[in-house]
Amino acid sequence: MPATDAAPSFAEERDLLIGAAVEAGHAVMPLWRDCSLKVWSKEDDSPVSEADMRADQVLREAIISEGRGDYGWLSEESWDGGAHRPGRRTFIVDPIDGTRAFLKGEDSFTICLAVEQEGEIVASVIYAPAREEVFAAALGEGATLNGQPIEVSSCQGLEGCRMLGTKRMFGHPDWPERWPEMSIGYKNSTSYRLACIAAGRYDGTVALTPKPDWDAAPGALIAAEAGAQVSDHLGRPFRFDRRPPEQPGLVCAAPGLYPEIIERLSHLPEDLRSLSV
């Protein structure tokens, strides 16, 4: 889908997101490992902190200052209510993905942004400020880590693969067939999991819970541009103009691994909320 003559190119959108994410990262780093940080719970009992709100404000101001005030705005911490209007691009934002990791003093939290157009992500950035890692992509331009091209692994099967997820999920007794022996890791940030797949550090990841667009959108493009296959748990492609703004589930994996994962998930219902895994 080409950008219109009046609209910035996808590469220009990516570069804007990089600058905004880095600015927000610098703004919240003084609050990382700060014992006096203010924290409270949202309606779903997930934590939010003054660092999340500071990042959200910095991101919005940085983006609007570049003449994108007419774009939609869909953020985990703020939403203008008018996102996904036909013909208008929308920013999809997670000011801090992995707030729990941030609050524990872990370094895998990320600042995540994407630009959506007609249900498709056309530019995205995942910034891990504590690690100084900037993952970025523009549609059709490939994916990079700190400016260098990245690509997914050449993994060809589940046996011995490097998988991101919870051991409890893969070891649940209700699976029709036991999962083979895998090296299982975990990252609190969904976006960082997808970035790790894109960079070839891990081979695949599975999430059997609905994922809000701000969790799925930034990493979906970066992983796809690095050569991964990304979809919901039944193999259906993502659309980022749904209401509510979420994906039913998430699978991201190297092409040689993806079909085997999807086959193992094929018996699952479309709505995963009733599952106990």
CA gap 214, 216 in Å, rounded: 6
Residue with tokens 């999340």: 52
Find out whether 96 is annotated in a ligand binding site.
yes
Find out whether 76 is annotated in a ligand binding site.
yes
CA gap 60, 73 in Å, rounded: 9
CA gap 38, 31 in Å, rounded: 10
CA angle 173, 176, 182 (to 5 degrees): 70
Three-state secondary structure of 223-273: HHHCCCEEECCCCCCCCCCCCCCEECCEEEECCCCHHHHHHHHCCCCCCCC
Tally of residues, the chain: 277
CA gap 171, 226 in Å, rounded: 29
Find out whether 215 is annotated in a ligand binding site.
yes
Contacts (Cβ under 8 Å, ≥6 apart) of 97 = 109, 110, 111, 112, 126, 189, 190, 191, 192, 214, 215
Residues comprising the binding site?
76, 94, 96-97, 215
User: Which residues make up each annotated binding site for Mg(2+)?
Assistant: 76, 94, 96-97, 215
